[in-house]
Structure 1
């Protein structure tokens, strides 16, 4: 049983403590470092990818909202200030913990394929996925789930009216804000695609050029769309004026959406996956997320080892081999549970893990092509995650996405909404990699109304003395980031230590270990190489946002990934 904290919050950091304390009084703290904690009375902890979103959540909590209302405020504000990563034209997955019932719920607001989906249009003349179709323009877009998901959470779990939770996002969209250098840099990287569509260029390319630092971005169309949702709930997006604009804009540019697609969209509540590992209970995402199953497989394999007694090289070797096998199964078996029967009992079984463990050599890498066949580019920042704990112990871990940066790059004129490009997450050509190098099979082929497989892995970690709310963006690396974060938390690291630690990643194919600079020392690097692992250094990836709670001292700690300076983790 998890009990609500008594909220005697101890200082994890005194940096800017006075400023943070005064900011809490008016519920709208100013921009601050990635992790701020205050000494004295405290009510909540929020970590998100943008300080405006974190502040929006704190504002709503200050008006009597709970963690679920705060989640709506954070998500909707991210839809205004982080369109490259999430938005009303995308979807999300969220873990909710209702403290008074000691109950965990998984909210599936993943996008769905339109009824007119046709696999043939996504296949090029060479028989491989046509990325121009699957990642750009309205044919790449699934039916969005985020507006319905936010309305669902407000209706079933929030304390405040939806309009009150959306108010901060509407204000930021109306009054404007100054995007940071990362946002402007992402515009520059995607200028060619954005320029294709006048409605997109009108928002992000003023005068036809990439804006300069100090630019103020106002989005009246997006504010209007948010107001309609605030007034009418999900119907404000899926019916009426907004729906007509979405359908008309899509079809004008060659898309295949219909009003019937929007009418058919439904939020799904699913039972989370639960894994016991070394005295901790991990509650994580079920399909159509692939993340929870893969994390469970890895932990079940590692449970048979005493990693603490091994040197760094051998402990890492065993973890990589567990990742390799979990991603192989990810590619073979997983899909939308409403369409595909998956052998989850087998995949989550300790006996199955015992069999996989028996195939691992203690000091030699297993070439992926020697494993039974299952039918990549740089890890990306095309998703976002936030974590929340409120004064009553309610918790939210939510990962939101439009897939690649700015999704399809296409804005439905008059809505301010960037449509996602999630169709690329289907196995458009079985056995061929998607934009993240993941290969799928028939289980993840596109079908009308079907949800595409996702790597999103919002998770809770419950221990006897400590709890963590954790998640991250990063495409296929989400799974290994969250896995490594869970292991770091179990090893005793605090929120800042978890988000800052160096990362490594293996996803079965391509058969290599992606590493951040400095993740291994020279001796470990040599030992892994000698075992047969191919290490490839890449630029830092991920944008993890973590909240931890130490029950022994009632200490809350919040941290955003130091790799991205605009994030904010804050204890109020």
Structure 2
């Protein structure tokens, strides 16, 4: 279903998701503006962000407001109780930077704490949340409007409620049906006990009160005082590890983005503890050694090279990457020379067995239920932000009396130290649990520069598929000259080293039958997939911002048209 909402000079284009269909809420209408744009999964949150741009806020102001609104309207991934990464290109000549607000392990955590515990929806799997600190740090660096004005729209959405669409109704009914958390059922259950339906209004009073404390007191309204006490009490009740000291100690970090060159463009992406930047840089670096444009986007050569680039980059990801505050990341991993070497190992006539690239490693899954949004303002400040609760609805634990969900990010650490096998366990030291350590992530918020100015802003949810989704979208634009809409709509490919198989969204489409057959003849195990990522993207062309919401799962493009 599609609707166009108008208020003032703002236009919001919405495509609602319908669970279980590849063509989810197919809204392929892009939006164009010269005055700013927000592309996000939630129509209400995108509208909030666009309104901030109309008020003269920066792209970072808009991103902060969007993030807090998503904590209300997109509860599966929008959050107060999670964390993520915000990539900012200021647009004023100052250098870009990455705000790392990834969650941390509590002080009481230890390396073997999960050896005999695989139930990730329990209190010990909750990491110290980073979102509120991350948003405040971003505001201190780049904000122009008052902090309270950025949080208040989310307070209003939670207090007064918002109309839910069919996809969210189905999602809530599913989660309520399997939840064992009494507070989740109380907060997110329909008051009359019936199932949620499209058009119902969801009111979140406890969350509104928590957001109000954050609006008034900033991070102290979350990491200290009443909210902190409620978190600590929740942890004590459920046997979790987070203490009030953990909350008081948490700080977001400013890091330098990973930079690489591709076909004359500069690509900015996140450094560790995100694995996204180094892994994406390796894949683009490998691709740069082949004339893929001449071969064509849907040629067997192009897709074979893409798959082999993914395979090699993910092997290195598994072996070397972790929190740089705790482990040393080999410097050569992001170099052009190393990418050239990896490209030289690709046999164009057959698939490389993954076992030849290193020990058979896999990693714990990161959920599909991350969310990404892209923002640009009229002055050219660009923001690419990805954040998450980990699994869909995180741990499923709602803090009693505070109304927000907690993450289960501790599952992104290597849970069985020293044990690495073909069944999915990984025990390398780089990503073992340590107190105050940040767990490895796949989140890959990305900004591409052309002549030093933002050209492409993209990212995605999707767990370990995130990096491959960003690779596909970025390559579609930079190598093959696709429009934003074409790049986002094109079928995506995913190979993660192990398991040794290729997931391709066009595998069962007759249009790609010949390509699939040829890839299989090269030795690739091609499997169909209905879902990979949610690539909400902005392309800048001739001074215009062109927003492409990912039609697969429903999203909103909110252009600011106020001069």
Structure 1 residue 356 displacement after superposition: 1.6
2:242 counterpart residue number: 257
- CA separation of 1:46 and 1:106: change in aligned 2, threshold 3 A: same
2:379 counterpart residue number: 392
1:546 counterpart residue number: 537
1:374-404 Cα distance to aligned partner (Å, 9 max, x none):
6599995311000011011001000010011
Counterparts of residues 160-239 of structure 1 (less than 5 Å) = 160-194=145-179, 196-206=180-190, 210-239=195-224
Counterparts of residues 50-449 of structure 1 (less than 5 Å) = 50-124=42-116, 130-132=117-119, 135-194=120-179, 196-206=180-190, 210-310=195-295, 312-343=299-330, 345-373=331-359, 375=361, 380-430=367-417, 439=426, 441-449=428-436
Q: Any gaps of 5 or more consecutive residues in structure 2?
A: 16-26
Match of 1:511 among 490, 496, 500: 500
- CA separation of 1:293 and 1:151: change in aligned 2, threshold 3 A: same
SS of residue matched to 2:112: helix
Aligned mates of 1:501, 1:432 — CA distance in 2:
38
1:160-207 Cα distance to aligned partner (Å, 9 max, x none):
11100112111100110122222222223333542x111111122235
- CA separation of 1:479 and 1:569: change in aligned 2, threshold 3 A: farther
Structure 1 residue 438 displacement after superposition: 8.5
Deviates more, 1:424-433 or 1:212-221: 424-433
The answer as to whether partners of 2:368 and 2:463 remain within 8 angstroms in 1 is: yes
1:453-506 Cα distance to aligned partner (Å, 9 max, x none):
000000111124970111111111100000111111112222212221111100
Aligned mates of 1:322, 1:29 — CA distance in 2:
38
Aligned mates of 2:228, 2:137 — CA distance in 1:
18
Aligned mates of 1:379, 1:259 — CA distance in 2:
27
Aligned mates of 2:411, 2:366 — CA distance in 1:
15
Aligned mates of 2:290, 2:377 — CA distance in 1:
36
- CA separation of 1:533 and 1:569: change in aligned 2, threshold 3 A: farther
Q: Any gaps of 5 or more consecutive residues in structure 1?
A: 1-14, 125-129
Aligned mates of 1:310, 1:559 — CA distance in 2:
26
Structure 1 residue 279 displacement after superposition: 0.9
Q: Does 1:535 align with 2:519?
A: no
The two structures, once aligned, show a CA RMSD in angstroms of: 2.4
SS of residue matched to 1:565: coil
The answer as to whether partners of 2:85 and 2:102 remain within 8 angstroms in 1 is: yes
SS of residue matched to 1:398: strand
- CA separation of 1:65 and 1:571: change in aligned 2, threshold 3 A: closer
Structure 1 residue 430 displacement after superposition: 4.5
- CA separation of 1:564 and 1:440: change in aligned 2, threshold 3 A: farther
SS of residue matched to 1:346: helix
Aligned length: 540
Structure 1 residue 208 displacement after superposition: 5.2
SS of residue matched to 2:96: strand
Aligned mates of 2:231, 2:258 — CA distance in 1:
35
SS of residue matched to 1:106: strand
Aligned mates of 1:556, 1:285 — CA distance in 2:
23
Aligned mates of 1:497, 1:569 — CA distance in 2:
19
Aligned mates of 2:320, 2:7 — CA distance in 1:
49
Aligned mates of 2:557, 2:13 — CA distance in 1:
10
Give me the TM-score of the superposition, normalised by structure 1: 0.89
The answer as to whether partners of 1:558 and 1:571 remain within 8 angstroms in 2 is: no
